[in-house]
Amino acid sequence: MKRGLAGFQPMLLRNAFRWGKRALKHIHSRIFPVPLSAEQAAFVERNLAFWNGECGAVDKAGSGYVFVRVEGHPVLFLSDASFATIAGRAKGLRPLFVTSGFKNSVSTMILESYPGAAFVYLRSLRWLGMRLIAVLQAVRLYRSIQSPRDLLNLQVDGIRFGDVIYDAVLAEGYATISTIDYRTFIVLQRFYFLRSFIRYVIKRYNLQAAVFAHTVGLQSAVFGRYLLQAGIEVINRIGSHQILLKKYQGLADVGTYALKPEPRYLALMLERDDGTILRKAEEYLERRFSQQVRHLAVDAAFDPSKRIYDDRRSFCQDYCLDPEKPIAFVMLHVFNDYPHSHFAKPMIFQDYYDWFIRTLELAGEVKSANWIFKEHPAADHYITRDVDLKRVFQEVKYNNVRFLDRQADFNARSIPHLAQAILTCVGTAGLEYSTLGIPCILGGESGYDGLGFTIEPKDEGEYAARLRRIDSLERLSGQQIRAAKVVAYFFFCVMESAVYHFCPRFTDTEICEWNGECERRLWMEAARRLADEDSMRLMKTQIEELSGFLIDSSWTQYVDLRQFPHFGNGKAKCATGRGQSK
pLDDT tens across the length of the chain (582 residues): 545 555 555 656 666 666 566 666 656 566 666 789 999 999 999 999 999 875 555 544 468 999 999 877 899 999 999 999 999 999 999 999 999 888 888 999 999 999 999 999 998 889 999 999 999 999 999 999 999 999 999 999 999 999 999 999 999 999 999 999 999 999 999 999 999 999 999 999 999 999 999 899 999 999 999 999 999 999 999 877 788 899 999 999 999 988 888 888 777 777 777 788 888 889 989 888 887 777 777 778 888 899 999 999 999 999 999 999 999 999 999 999 999 998 888 889 999 999 999 999 999 999 999 999 999 988 888 889 999 999 999 999 999 999 999 999 999 999 999 999 999 998 899 999 999 999 999 998 898 999 899 999 999 999 999 999 999 999 999 999 999 998 998 888 887 778 899 999 998 888 888 999 999 999 999 999 999 999 999 999 999 999 999 999 999 999 887 777 666 544 445 433 333 333
Q: Are residues 294 and 387 in the same domain?
A: yes
Q: Are residues 300 and 396 in the same domain?
A: yes
Phi, psi of 199 (to 5 degrees): -65, -35
Q: Are residues 179 and 289 in the same domain?
A: no
Rounded distance, CA 514 to CA 533, Å?
Answer: 29
Q: Which of 462, 494, 526 is the last residue of a domain?
A: 494
Do residues 334 and 381 lie in contact, with contact meaning Cβ atoms separated by under 8 Å? yes
Please count the other Cβ atoms lying within 10 Å of the Cβ belonging to residue 126.
Answer: 9
569 in a structural domain: no
Q: Are residues 485 and 354 in the same domain?
A: yes
Question: DSSP class of residue 483?
Answer: H
Rounded distance, CA 460 to CA 132, Å?
Answer: 42
Nearest in space to 72 (alpha carbons), one of 514, 459, 553, 481: 514
379 in a structural domain: yes
Q: Are residues 14 and 147 in the same domain?
A: yes
15 in a structural domain: yes
Q: Are residues 283 and 136 in the same domain?
A: no
Task: Map residue 313 onto helix, strand or coil.
Answer: helix
Q: Are strands 574-577 and 555-558 parallel, antiparallel or unpaired?
A: antiparallel
362 in a structural domain: yes
CATH of the domain at 340: 3.40.50.2000
Q: At CA 436, angle to CA 432 and CA 442, rounded to 5? A: 50
503 in a structural domain: no
Q: Which of 173, 190, 207 is the last residue of a domain?
A: 190
Contacts of 274 (CB under 8 A, 6+ apart): 566
3-state class percentages of the chain: helix first, strand second, coil last, to nearest 5? 50, 10, 40
Q: What residue spans of 351-459 are helical by DSSP H?
A: 352-365, 389-394, 415-418, 429-434
Task: Map residue 246 onto helix, strand or coil.
Answer: strand
Do residues 465 and 445 lie in contact, with contact meaning Cβ atoms separated by under 8 Å? no
Please count the other Cβ atoms lying within 10 Å of the Cβ belonging to residue 510.
Answer: 16
What is the number of structural domains in the chain? 2
Cα distances (Å, whole numbers) of residue 173 to 168, 296, 381, 385: 9, 20, 11, 6
270 in a structural domain: yes
Task: Map residue 384 onto helix, strand or coil.
Answer: coil
Q: At CA 449, angle to CA 447 and CA 450, rounded to 5? A: 130
Rounded distance, CA 269 to CA 378, Å?
Answer: 32
Q: Which of 494, 528, 546 is the last residue of a domain?
A: 494
Q: Are strands 233-238 and 244-248 parallel, antiparallel or unpaired?
A: antiparallel
Task: Map residue 504 onto helix, strand or coil.
Answer: coil
Do residues 122 and 108 lie in contact, with contact meaning Cβ atoms separated by under 8 Å? no
Give the domain range for residue 396: 266-494
Rounded distance, CA 90 to CA 543, Å?
Answer: 8
Do residues 126 and 98 lie in contact, with contact meaning Cβ atoms separated by under 8 Å? no
Radius of gyration of the chain from its Cα atoms, rounded to whole angstroms: 25
